Amino acid sequence: MNNRRFIEQNIRPLDLTELTKRTGNIYKALVITGKRANIISKQLKKELRAQLDEFGPVVTAGDAMDEVIENREQIEVSRLYEQLPKPSLIALNDFLNDKIKIVRDESLDF
């Protein structure tokens, strides 16, 4: 998680030739980064849930709101995760820096 904090979050234009170097097709590049973003999102959610569970049970929408006790540590952990770059930015950064291994399935037509 620590290395994810240093990804540039500002909007900047990207050269499409950089995206298509490895795949030869912009659509393949977008599918790959999208799948990686989903994996990262699930990992972050799992990490967040594990850290919040250390502080006690997490209140869900179905629980009685009268019994909600404010826990400062949970709030701080949640804020930390809110400040992380979005999974799509992390995936795009991984793709551009060749950190994603592309396995081609020959049975697919695209």
**pLDDT digit of tens for each residue in the chain (110 aa)?**
556 656 776 778 888 898 899 899 999 999 999 999 999 999 999 999 998 888 776 555 555 555 556 678 888 888 999 989 999 999 999 999 999 988 877 766 55
pTM for this prediction: 0.75
Report yes or no: 41 and 23 within 8 Å, Cβ to Cβ.
no
3-state secondary structure the chain: CHHHHHCCCCCCCCCHHHHHCCCCCHHHHHHHHHHHHHHHHHHHHHHHHHHHHCCCCCCCCCCCHHHCCCCHHHHHHHHHHHHCCCHHHHHHHHHHCCCCCCCCCCCCCC
